[in-house]
Structure 1
Amino acid sequence: MQEQIERIIVYVQTVFEESGSHGFDHTLRVTRLCEGLGEDEGADMRVVLPAALLHDIGRPLEEKQGIAHEKAGAVIAEEFLRSIGYDKTLIPKITHAIRTHRYRSENRPGTLEAMVLSDADKLDAMGAIGIARTFMQAGERNRTMTDATDHIHEKLLKLKGMMYTRGARGMAEKRHTVLNKYLQAFEAELSH
């Protein structure tokens, strides 16, 4: 499996040539979170690791063509995993995790592995890293600092209550505190 994971990493790196709020560094952080959460929860890492590495593989299509990245990503991931001879019985579980990882997805995770990926992706949107990513994304879209803090209020503060796994709930609690402290400081400075 390690050789196939290496091939997946190389493939994902070629897709995310540029850094950004959803770049390769985000993928690596989500994968590390999945490793810890997945092992703690007893998830099948043969599903979790490829799903984590490939979870945003459809982002470039979403940005260019408006196709939901979780749906496009599941199709791309399936084709790629088949091309490298990945275990055929695991591919539907991997694509399910990819299809259901997104905050706004109409589909909910139906397996432990999908829950781990969903939690890890949400955790990377919280805390200090989440704040940095939010401002990075605002810059990428030519938005203001106020737009970024609106995003924190409208989305990021809701994530704490959306965790599936025990370990993620504990991490989310800490990251949620960071979000609140940041907003208090930002809003205090803005008002003076």
Structure 2
Amino acid sequence: MDRVNKIISHELYKSYLGKIAKWEEYRSFCKHDLIHFLDVCRISWILVLEENLSLNKEVVYGAGLLHDIGRWAEYESGADHAVESALMCSEILEDCGYDAEEIDMIKDAIAAHRLKDEKKCPLGSVLSRADNLSRMCYDCGEIGECKKFQNGEKPYLLY
């Protein structure tokens, strides 16, 4: 997990997290912070193991840590954060020792993590599901205002 730890301590990564934190300072809904990113990583890895997918743990964690780093750009300009995150992740991944094939796999997964197309991008599908499963909706004071529960759905804990 050396490369994963390098991501967490990477200055550009930390600057992106800082930008997101500023935009979300007064956000009442779920935040996009390191806690969320690590929850996505861990649940993604559980899904990979449960489904016997052939994915490298550092690749899964790299994708989980970086999947929403473009969130600040969405707040700033309205750009799709999945697309922005896929564009922003390359330099960090290169600096942290990921090879070109791994970087492409992570970029594709990040760009697809909102599309839920399992056949086209298995890692993107895992990320998408983990992203949704990682939220602690069952303990949220804003659930009545949340777009995920507009039709009376109830939160259900899986992981």
Give TM-score scaled by structure 1 length.
0.63
Query: Measured at CA, do residues 175 and 9 of structure 1 come closer, stay the same or move farther in structure 2, by a change above 3 Å?
Result: same
**Contact 1:15–1:57 (8 Å) recurs in 2:** yes
Q: Please identify which structure carries the higher helix content.
A: 1
Deviation by residue 1:55-104 (Cα, 9 ceiling, x = unmatched): 111111111111111000001112321233311111111111101112xx
Deviation by residue 1:124-177 (Cα, 9 ceiling, x = unmatched): 24xxx0255672xxxxxxxxx7533x54125x949xxxxxxxxxxxxx9x438x
Query: Measured at CA, do residues 92 and 157 of structure 1 come closer, stay the same or move farther in structure 2, by a change above 3 Å?
Result: farther
Partner of 1:108: 117
Partner of 2:17: 16
C-alpha distance in 1 between matches for 2:62 and 2:76? 24
The 10-residue stretch of structure 1 (42-51 or 88-97) with the greater mean CA deviation from structure 2: 42-51
For 2:67, the aligned partner's letter is H
C-alpha distance in 2 between matches for 1:26 and 1:85? 23
Partner of 2:72: 60
Once superposed, what is the RMSD of the aligned Cα atoms?
2.8
Partner of 1:82: 94
C-alpha distance in 1 between matches for 2:141 and 2:17? 18
C-alpha distance in 2 between matches for 1:81 and 1:36? 22
Task: Give the 5 Å matches for 1:5-154.
Answer: 5-11=4-10, 12-17=13-18, 18=21, 21-43=31-53, 44=55, 45-102=57-114, 105=115, 108-109=117-118, 110-125=120-135, 129-132=136-139, 135=142, 146-148=144-146, 151-153=148-150
C-alpha distance in 1 between matches for 2:62 and 2:33? 16
Number of residue pairs aligned between Structure 1 and Structure 2: 144
Structure 2 gaps, min length 5:
none
For 2:157, the aligned partner's letter is R
For 1:175, the aligned partner's letter is L
**Contact 2:3–2:58 (8 Å) recurs in 1:** no
Give TM-score scaled by structure 2 length.
0.75
The 10-residue stretch of structure 1 (24-33 or 77-86) with the greater mean CA deviation from structure 2: 77-86
